[in-house]
Amino acid sequence: MTITYFTKFYGTAEQAAAAAQHYAWLAAHAKPLRQPTLRVIGPTSLTVERIQGRHAAAEDLTSLAGLLGDAHGAAWVSDLHQANVETSHHFGDGTSLDDYLHPREAALRQRHRQGYLPTHSALIAMLTLLRTTAEGPAAFYKDSNLRNFLITEDDTVFAVDPDDLTLAPFAYDLAKLITSLLLTYGPLPEESVGKALAAYNEAAACHDGQLGTTNRDRLDDFLALHAVLTAPYVGRHGYGRPRPSDRIKDLS
């Protein structure tokens, strides 16, 4: 079989270097996540193996949730047990993963300016919710939307685009996967979400019992945050219009 490659270009050398560092960190510490082979690191680009596969679909939610839980648990044991979600996590070469709060606080304020949080009280409510979720063991967030997974014909899962890597609480990235599926395919059965959370917790707990404790209320908090943070992308990238949940309406 002929291997082909894909080159992704970045706006700056710093962005390309950060993506390469994130790729290397995931390869070292989140081994359950398989990534395409990185062939060339250019001044403003990365060239990786081109994977022939499909994006994730709603029926993949439970298996992908288990994969994320396994990857988050492995990274915690390998490196992130030393991290705090409120503080940037430094690599040995002096680079770092951004903390959970600061980039999302900035993004929520931007959503307020854009009109997605129409009142100041809605902004304060979302900022308060964000801060209340900044607790517990540290996982990573890699923007696990459905398009950042490629599934081959033999059901091998590849995680792509390590650009947006930050610290986050456990299950925050699972909530992003669920959000992207909701925006693409519409409402998911409650049973499917429950099974996904159980699969995530079970896989994370295999690494350490304290890692598999996310409950549904906490997942709903993460979903409410993602609903606001992803609002500008509705109508783009295959995202349809979301159905507001009672939780989101309560916060607004």
| Element (DSSP H or E) covering residue 212 | none
List, for residues 51-102, the tens digit of each pLDDT value. 999 999 999 999 999 999 999 999 999 999 999 999 999 877 667 899 999 9
Alpha-carbon distance 170 to 136, whole Å?
8
Alpha-carbon distance 177 to 140, whole Å?
14
The band of 251, judged by pLDDT with boundaries at 50, 70 and 90, is very low
Between the CA of residue 50 and those of 4, 43, 47, 153, what are the distances in Å?
6, 20, 9, 14
Residue 94's pLDDT is what? 64
The band of 242, judged by pLDDT with boundaries at 50, 70 and 90, is low
Residue whose C-alpha is closest to residue 67's, from 117, 32, 19: 32
Residue 252's pLDDT is what? 35
DSSP 3-state of 150: strand
List, for residues 123-172, the tens digit of each pLDDT value. 999 999 999 999 999 999 999 999 999 999 999 999 999 888 999 999 99
Residue 239's pLDDT is what? 74
Q: Compute how many other C-beta atoms are within 10 angstroms of the C-beta atom of residue 96.
A: 15
Alpha-carbon distance 113 to 119, whole Å?
10
Judge whether 234 and 183 are in contact, CB under 8 Å: yes
List, for residues 178-208, the tens digit of each pLDDT value. 999 999 998 899 999 999 999 999 999 999 9
Residue whose C-alpha is closest to residue 86's, from 72, 102, 75: 102
Residue 235's pLDDT is what? 73
Q: Average pLDDT of 116-123?
A: 96
Alpha-carbon distance 182 to 130, whole Å?
21
Residue 163's pLDDT is what? 87
Q: Average pLDDT of 17-38?
A: 94
Please, is 114 exposed, middle or buried when counting C-beta atoms within 10 Å of its C-beta (0-12, 13-18, 19+)? exposed
> CA angle, 182 as apex, 177 and 186 as ends, to 5°?
155
| CATH number of this structure's domain 54-251, picked from the four choices 3.90.1200, 3.40.50, 3.30.1360, 3.30.70 | 3.90.1200
The band of 249, judged by pLDDT with boundaries at 50, 70 and 90, is very low
- Quick one: CA dihedral 169, 230, 189, 58, positive or negative? negative
pTM: 0.92
Residue 93's pLDDT is what? 64
